[in-house]
Structure 1
Amino acid sequence: MNYLYLILGILLFVLTVMDLIKTTFSSNGGGKITGAVSKGVWKLFFVASGKNGRPKLLSYAGPAVLISILLVWIIGLWSGLFLMLLSDKDSIVNSSTLTATSPLEKLYYAGFTLSTLGVGDYKATTDAWRIVTSLVAFSGLAFITASITYFVPVLSAVGLQSKLSLYISSMGKTPQQLLLNSWNGKDFSSFYDNVSDLCQMLMQHTMNHHSYPVIHYFHNSKVKLAIAPAIVLLDESYHLLELTGAKDKLKIEMLQTTLKTYKETMKESFLKNAKAHGAAPTPDLTQLYKAGIPVKEPEQVKQVFEQELQEHRQLLTALLEKDGWTWKEVYKP
């Protein structure tokens, strides 16, 4: 008995199972193995796309991440059982000749046991190995099925992400345009009418990030369907609304709280120690003044956006850059 192989096999199998359970059954994010694989695959696609959000190559990163995670789980379970069987040269024998099996045959046996195929051309020699075989077969059936069904809510969450992006971008292509489209000559009541729906979708999207962090790596090369520019656009619009003395305090408070929660979630999970390389522009409010919208004086606006919101907007810059975008997608020329 080779105890090194046995310990390594048990350890690898248990670590894989723990990561799989943490990712598929927990509402607090994925396991460490899943996180490392996700970041690694995303980085490969991101670098290959020139760190630009527009190439279509980046839109394949999300599916590639899911497939890679599934493959890592299968390989982890398969390798763990293989090492356990390899620890005992007589653990598995040929069903017909009862001769000892080679390492390659043990690898084959581990694979069809996990997949519950039950071919039967090889068999365990002792009660202990028969029990191990049965336990692993049940584990394979349960965990591989769970990992595949995990894809369904993830894809649903990705659909909501695109829906939220399109909803925000349809209200206006820039923060100034969003305010102009919402202004009826007296107030922004048409914008407030949509705040409840916006907050509901954004809260659900934030909760999805807690449960399925992998959705962050599902990228859309179309700006109007990309989540990062949409969130920044909405956040900038909110701060511009504050400078108009917006009166619907309830809706404003709802929007502020929802945006803050989302940004905190991103800061804790994807923007740890993230550094912004670009600078956030000061919005040009000429069109708003011409439309008679009661925005504060340019000097006050400049102070708010360049000083009071400086640290906050650096976070937004990092959010855009981590997804391959810049402020040009928010404040379009």
Structure 2
Amino acid sequence: MNTLYLILGLLLFIVTVMDLIKTTFSSNGGGMITNTVSKAVWKIFFALAGKDGKSSALSYTGPAVLISILLVWIIGLWGALFLLLLSDKDSIVNSSTLVIASPLEKLYYAGFTLSTLGVGDYIATTNAWRIITSLAAFSGLAFITASITYFVPVLSAVGLQSKLSLYISSMGKTPQLILVNSWDGKDFSSFFDTTSDLCQMLMQHTMNHHSYPVIHYFHNNQVKLAIAPAIVLLDEAYHLLELAGAKDELKMEMLQITLKTYKETMKESFLKNTKAHREAPTPDLAQLHKAGIPVKDTDQVKQVFEQELHEHRQLLTSLLEKDGWSWKEVYDPSY
């Protein structure tokens, strides 16, 4: 009995299964292996795309991440059983000749056992190895099925993410346009009529992000369907509404809390130790003044956005840059 192979096999099995269970059955995000693989795949695609959010290459990142995670889990389970079989040179024999299986044949046996093919050209030699083979077959069936089933809620969450992005961008291509489009000459009642639905979708998206952080890597290269510019667009509109004296305190409070919760989730998961490379622009108020919206004067707005909200907007800048976007997608209606 080779103790080293036995210990390595058990450790690999435990680590793989713990990661799989935490990712697929927990509501607290992915496991360590899942998160590491996801970030590595994203970095590769992001570099190949030249860090450009409009690159079509980034559209394949999400599926590539899911496939990579599944492959890592399969390889982990397969490798674990293979190492266990290697720990005993007499563990497996050819069913016809009873010749002891070679390492390559044991690798083959481990693969068809986990996939529950049950070919039968190689068999376990003792009751202990027969039980281990049965347990491995059940593990393969259960865990690989669970990992594939995990894709369903992930893809559903990605659909909600695109829906939320389109919902926000359809309200106005810039924060100023959101205010102008919802201004009726007296207040912003048309904006607040949509706030409940908007907050509900944003809260659901935040919870999905917490449960399935892998959705962060599902990138849409169309600005109107991209989540990062949409969230920044809504956040900037919220602060302009504050400066314009929006009176619906309840809806403003709801919007503030949902936006804050989302940003905290992103900061904890994807924006740790990140620094913005550019400064956020100060909103131009000409469009608001032309529409008769009673926003505060330019100097006050400049003070709020450049000083009071400076750190907050640095986080928004990082959110955009980490996804390949910039403030142009937020304040330039031509994008």
Which residue number in structure 2 is paired with residue 314 of structure 1? Answer: 314
TM-score by length of 1: 0.99
Which residue number in structure 1 is paired with residue 99 of structure 2? Answer: 99
Please list the CA deviations of residues 200-255 of structure 1 after superposition, one character each: whole Å capped at 9, or x if unmatched. 00000000011100000000000000000000000000000000111000000000
Secondary structure, counterpart of 1:330 in structure 2: helix
Whichever residue aligns with residue 92 of structure 1, its letter is I
In 1: Cα distance, 2:129 partner to 2:304 partner: 69
In 2: Cα distance, 1:10 partner to 1:189 partner: 62
Which residue number in structure 2 is paired with residue 165 of structure 1? Answer: 165
In 2: Cα distance, 1:331 partner to 1:241 partner: 16
After TM superposition, the structure 1 = structure 2 runs for residues 77-226 of structure 1, keeping only pairs within 5 Å, are: 77-226=77-226
In 2: Cα distance, 1:17 partner to 1:130 partner: 21
Whichever residue aligns with residue 256 of structure 1, its letter is Q
Secondary structure, counterpart of 2:123 in structure 1: strand
In 2: Cα distance, 1:83 partner to 1:290 partner: 73
| 1:116 positional shift | 0.6
Q: How many residues align?
A: 333
Please list the CA deviations of residues 6-41 of structure 1 after superposition, one character each: whole Å capped at 9, or x if unmatched. 110111011000000000000000000000000000
Q: Runs in 1 of length 4+ with deviation above 6 angstroms?
A: none
Secondary structure, counterpart of 1:93 in structure 2: strand
Which residue number in structure 1 is paired with residue 75 of structure 2? Answer: 75
| 1:181 positional shift | 0.3
In 1: Cα distance, 2:105 partner to 2:112 partner: 11
Which residue number in structure 2 is paired with residue 323 of structure 1? Answer: 323
After TM superposition, the structure 1 = structure 2 runs for residues 228-243 of structure 1, keeping only pairs within 5 Å, are: 228-243=228-243
Whichever residue aligns with residue 324 of structure 1, its letter is G
| 1:291 positional shift | 1.1
In 2: Cα distance, 1:17 partner to 1:291 partner: 59
Whichever residue aligns with residue 94 of structure 1, its letter is N
Whichever residue aligns with residue 9 of structure 1, its letter is G
1:32 aligns with 2:32: yes
Whichever residue aligns with residue 332 of structure 2, its letter is K
Structure 1 gap segments, 5+ residues each: none
In 2: Cα distance, 1:291 partner to 1:51 partner: 37
| 1:317 positional shift | 0.2
Structure 2 gap segments, 5+ residues each: none
**Identity rate, percent:** 84
In 2: Cα distance, 1:72 partner to 1:155 partner: 20
Secondary structure, counterpart of 1:323 in structure 2: coil
TM-score by length of 2: 0.99
1:269 aligns with 2:269: yes
| 1:118 positional shift | 0.7
Whichever residue aligns with residue 90 of structure 1, its letter is D
Which residue number in structure 2 is paired with residue 293 of structure 1? Answer: 293
| 1:46 positional shift | 0.1
| 1:78 positional shift | 0.2
In 1: Cα distance, 2:200 partner to 2:68 partner: 32
In 1: Cα distance, 2:29 partner to 2:56 partner: 27
| 1:96 positional shift | 1.0
Whichever residue aligns with residue 42 of structure 1, its letter is W
In 1: Cα distance, 2:153 partner to 2:106 partner: 36
Which residue number in structure 2 is paired with residue 245 of structure 1? Answer: 245
In 2: Cα distance, 1:216 partner to 1:244 partner: 33
In 2: Cα distance, 1:172 partner to 1:75 partner: 47
In 2: Cα distance, 1:234 partner to 1:197 partner: 14
In 1: Cα distance, 2:96 partner to 2:103 partner: 18
Whichever residue aligns with residue 305 of structure 1, its letter is F
Whichever residue aligns with residue 126 of structure 2, its letter is T
Which shifted more, 235-244 or 127-136? Answer: 127-136
In 1: Cα distance, 2:194 partner to 2:224 partner: 18
In 2: Cα distance, 1:321 partner to 1:290 partner: 32
